[in-house]
Every structure is written in C-alpha cells, then in structure tokens.
Amino acid sequence: MVQYSRDRLDTSFAALSDATRRGVLERLGRADASITDLARQFDMTLTGMKKHVGVLEQVGLITTEKVGRVRTCRLGPRRLEAEVEWMERYRRLWAARFDELDEVVEDLKQREMSDARKQRD
Amino acid sequence: MVQYSRDRLDTSFAALSDATRRGVLERLGRADASITDLARQFDMTLTGMKKHVGVLEQVGLITTEKVGRVRTCRLGPRRLEAEVEWMERYRRLWAARFDELDEVVEDLKQREMSDARKQRD
C-alpha cells in the first residue's frame, strides 16, 4: 500500500478542483508549454495562469524551468497514485454497501412472498 | 464515455480535498450514521460536522434523512465514476509522456554509443 499523508491528499484534490488546472495537466500531457502559451490557450492573463501553475507546482503535479525569459512547464513526477488508490478503496466500500442493501431488499421480497403464500395456504 | 460537466468535477474534487470529509465517506461506507455520531467520532462540534455533511450532500456523495430529531447520513448514489475516469485518463497521458521521454533518453544513449564507436574506428 502506498503511504501518504492526509494533508497531501487535501492539497492534490484541491489542486484538481479547478477546470483550468485540470486542463493545464491534460495539455502538458501532450507537450511541454510555456506559461505564455498556456495563458493564451486558456484565454487567461499571465498573472492568472502563473497562479494556477504555482498551485500545480507546489503539489508536485508539474515542474517548471526558466531559461532566459521563458518559463517552461512540464508534467511532474506525481502520478496521482495515492489519490486513485483512495478513490478505488471508496468505490469498493460503496459497492459493498450497495450490494448489502440489495441483499436486504431481496430478503424482504422473499419474506413478503413467503408471507403471502402462508396467507393463501 | 461518461458525460460530465467541468463544474461537477470542480465541486466533487473540492469535496474530497478535506481529510474529515474523506473520513466521513469511509465511515459511511461501513454503516449509516447520525450527524451526532459522526461529530463524536471525528471529535468535532455538531455545527462543524453539519457543514461537512452539507458539502458532501450537495455534491451527491451522501444523502441524509431526518426522522424525529435524528438526521441519518448514508452514502449517496455517486460512485465518483467521472472523477476516476478523469484520473485514469491523466495517468495514461502521464505514462505516455514519460515513456516518450524514456525513448528520447534511450535514443540519445544509442547515438552516443554509436558516435563513440565511430571515433574508435
């Protein structure tokens, strides 16, 4: 099992809670890009994009490198493993919980049918 | 492919960006609970827990039902499908991107070896 701190999940899910930031990750999944490129593509001011890039960089989802006047962004080393793991665990709990409910409903149905038969007999 | 709005992912990732809210989901994955139970278990005021429950309910991750003075919380109908799908897509992009980098590195190595061989010859 991957070890992770609760705080780390807090900040990574928070980083993912913005459509522009998710879009930037998808964009960088295709090719590296400068902040200027990203700002243009997402129709945003340079300042606004710098803020989003800062959030993603702080969480380790992207890395940036400045050469001359251009800061290039690329995907960082994090693969969202702990995050996917948490969600998979939740989905298993969810499925177990609803299967259980299905069983209860099925059980109730069987009992009703059995009671109805007894009343007929 | 599951259809989803960008806003919906925004709010669900934001709902998941808090350790207490994730804890509440895991707790309800085992059994339904009243807000009072949850507040006690997470060592939190009733008001604080009501707020967290409100966030989770608004996103559809839990449902609540009030009978008399007790409000019971249970897991809602959402299975985080769109969220998991987004993350899986990102991981595929990520993997492709880093495989590509590996290939570039491998290619450079091969060239270096070939150049070194040429120089020896």
Q: Give pLDDT tens digits for A90-105.
A: 988 888 887 776 777 7
Is B22 an 8 Å CB contact of chain A?
Answer: yes
Mean pLDDT calculated for residue range A47-73: 95
Q: What is residue A77's DSSP assignment?
A: S
Mean pLDDT calculated for residue range B21-36: 95
| Percent share of chain A, pLDDT over 70 | 93
How much is the pTM?
A: 0.80
pLDDT at B103 over 70: yes
Q: Which residues of A touch B93 (CB under 8 A)?
A: 25-26, 29-30, 75
Report pLDDT for B23: 96
Q: Which residues of A touch B104 (CB under 8 A)?
A: none
What's the pLDDT band for A77 if we cut at 50, 70, 90? Answer: confident
Is B5 an 8 Å CB contact of chain A?
Answer: no
Q: What does chain B look like in DSSP terms, one character per residue?
A: -----HHHHHHHHHHHSSHHHHHHHHHHHH--EEHHHHHHHTT--HHHHHHHHHHHHHTTSEEEEEETTEEEEEE-S---HHHHHHHHHHHHHHHHHHHHHHHHHHHHHHHHHHHHHHHH-
Report pLDDT for A6: 60
Q: Which of B64, B29, B21, B105 is nearest to A13 (CA)?
A: B21
Our CA-based measurement puts residue A119 at a distance from the nearest CA of chain B, in whole angstroms, of 32
Report pLDDT for A2: 43
Report pLDDT for B2: 43
Distance CA A82, CA A1 (A): 9
Q: State the average pLDDT for chain B.
A: 88
pLDDT at B96 over 90: no
| Percent share of chain B, pLDDT over 70 | 93
Distance CA A14, CA A38 (A): 20
Report pLDDT for B6: 61
Distance CA A40, CA A22 (A): 16
B95 vs A99, more confident = B95
Is A63 an 8 Å CB contact of chain B?
Answer: no
Between chains, do B84 and A94 touch, taking CB under 8 Å as contact? no
